[in-house]
Amino acid sequence: MSEPETSAPSLLDATLALQRQAYHAHPVPTLQERRADLRTLQRFIREHKDALCDAISADYGHRSRHETLLAEVFPAVDGIDHVLRHLRGWMRPQRRAVDWRNFFGARNRVMAQPLGVVGVIVPWNFPLNLSLIPLSYIFAAGNRAMVKMSENSRHLAAYLIKHMPAYFPPEKLQFFDETGGVGVAFSTLKFDHLLFTGSGQTGRAVMTAAAQNLCPVTLELGGKAPAIVCDDFPLATAVERIMFVKLLNAGQICTTVDHAWLPAGKVDEFVALARRIVAVRYPQLSSPDYTAIIDERAFERLLAALDDARNRGARVLPLLDGPAFDRQLRKIAPHIVLDAPSDSVLMQREIFGPILPLRSYSTLDEVVTAINAGPRPLAVYPFSHDAHRVQHLIDHVMSGGVSVNDALFHVGQHDLPFGGVGESGMGHYHGHEGFETFSKMRPVFYQARFSSLRFLWPPYGQLADRVLAFLIR
């Protein structure tokens, strides 16, 4: 297991000093060294995938093994293949233009160089995906990394702390468990970059702490990502896709569909279709394919949100026959909520559970106005085959990312950047942008053997006057 709480800050400081020293001794790993690190990381995932699935399931109480393989193991393994294919090109210095009038014969280049030591603060909902995928870009950029796991990922953290040293030495990579106060101490370290994924409230605290060191941060937060179903899109297809994403990981995804907008008159049909789909996919609450809620606090929060909506006059509709929840299994049945007041908990806070409020609209302008009245979401999901309508929504509703005619899957595209905007986050990783996030894109100017600027050296006279007149004519 991890170090005792009293020694955690000293262990953090010692690890940072060790990694910083290793960085200074070898600041720019070669292409071959970076590829070796990436293949080692991929080998670790493949050799330990079953145990990693078991550890995550133990942390959840129950986590569908197939969901872990689909949403965590596969994206990490496949993402490393993508990085390996593109790394040589990403590392190649970029040629940039030179103003020949001032700097005739000179050259400009932009070189991607390692920042040094990167800190990663990982949430509990996809702890393997959100630690190892960032590491693939951190290593591709030639850095070293310290990774702090969530207090709700104790089994996984223990496994990584125990087994990862056989693959990477501590001067390259080290994992830390949350034993109390570790996260606060971690965010105050003088990293060269800090990546945080989690809630907006914690993100503010992390950014405040990092600001004391002028440490740049990438914040991946959340928000109320809406699906917008237009009247031209087949409703049955929309329901199939929305319910798959909404119930994946029991809705505990920052980029899931938080709520859905439907054309007036289509709400009842959506509910009927959703009931049939859920009954087939999850015949009962105890289904091994249906994931538990992460902990008791989250379980009670979701039940309280349903009670709040019900007490305010909303229609709360469980989509499975039988009990609406099981405390022993810590599972809550999929629910649809109709007519939830705008000031209810479900409509004010990110839901992060298997509850889908539905809202109806008469015109798309109503939807645009309502979404823009709140914080900018991490994602928006328009469903329409009308390209002009889709582009109108993309243009008028700002969000971190967009999936058209589906949800979530823009995050799974290796060559697209992933990130939020406004209160849903800042900065990007994934794709080439991920490599650049963890690199210093360093401008380098090479002066020619003969500098034309010598004509502008003082003392200034008529020659300088003529040169400047030529330059600004």
pLDDT band at 175 (very low <50, low <70, confident <90, very high): very high
pLDDT band at 367 (very low <50, low <70, confident <90, very high): very high
Q: What is the average pLDDT across 170-194?
A: 95
Q: What is the pLDDT of residue 6?
A: 43
Q: Are 8 and 2 in contact (CB under 8 A)?
A: yes
Residues in the chain, overall count: 473
pLDDT band at 427 (very low <50, low <70, confident <90, very high): very high
Mean pLDDT rounded to a whole number for the chain: 95
Whole-prediction pTM value?
0.94
CA diameter of the chain: 93
Q: Are 186 and 148 in contact (CB under 8 A)?
A: yes
* pLDDT at residue 278 tops 80: yes
Question: What helix, strand, coil percent values describe the chain, rounded to 5?
Answer: 45, 15, 35
* pLDDT at residue 316 tops 60: yes
Amino acid at 20: R
Residue 435's φ and ψ, nearest 5 degrees, are: -60, -45
pLDDT band at 7 (very low <50, low <70, confident <90, very high): low
Strand partners, 462: none
* pLDDT at residue 228 tops 90: yes
Q: Known catalytic residues?
A: 220, 254
Q: What is the pLDDT of residue 120?
A: 98
* pLDDT at residue 331 tops 50: yes
Q: What is the pLDDT of residue 198?
A: 94
pLDDT > 90: what percent of the chain? 92
Q: Are 436 and 417 in contact (CB under 8 A)?
A: no
* pLDDT at residue 417 tops 70: yes
Q: Are 11 and 19 in contact (CB under 8 A)?
A: no
Q: Are 394 and 364 in contact (CB under 8 A)?
A: no
How do residues 104-156 score in pLDDT, each as one tens digit?
899 999 999 999 999 999 999 999 999 999 999 999 999 999 999 999 999 99
CA atoms within 13 A on the CB side of 305: 26
How do residues 383-413 score in pLDDT, each as one tens digit?
999 999 999 999 999 999 999 999 999 999 9
* pLDDT at residue 371 tops 50: yes
Q: What is the average pLDDT across 415-419?
A: 96
> What value, to the nearest 5°, has the Cα angle with vertex 394 and ends 226 and 362?
60
Q: What is the average pLDDT across 33-40?
A: 98
Q: How far apart are CA 336 and CA 273, in angstroms?
A: 12
How do residues 238-249 score in pLDDT, each as one tens digit?
999 999 999 999
Structural tokens at position 210: 């990092």
Q: How far apart are CA 315 and CA 283, in angstroms?
A: 23
Best CA proximity match to 281, nearest among 238, 326, 250, 316:
250
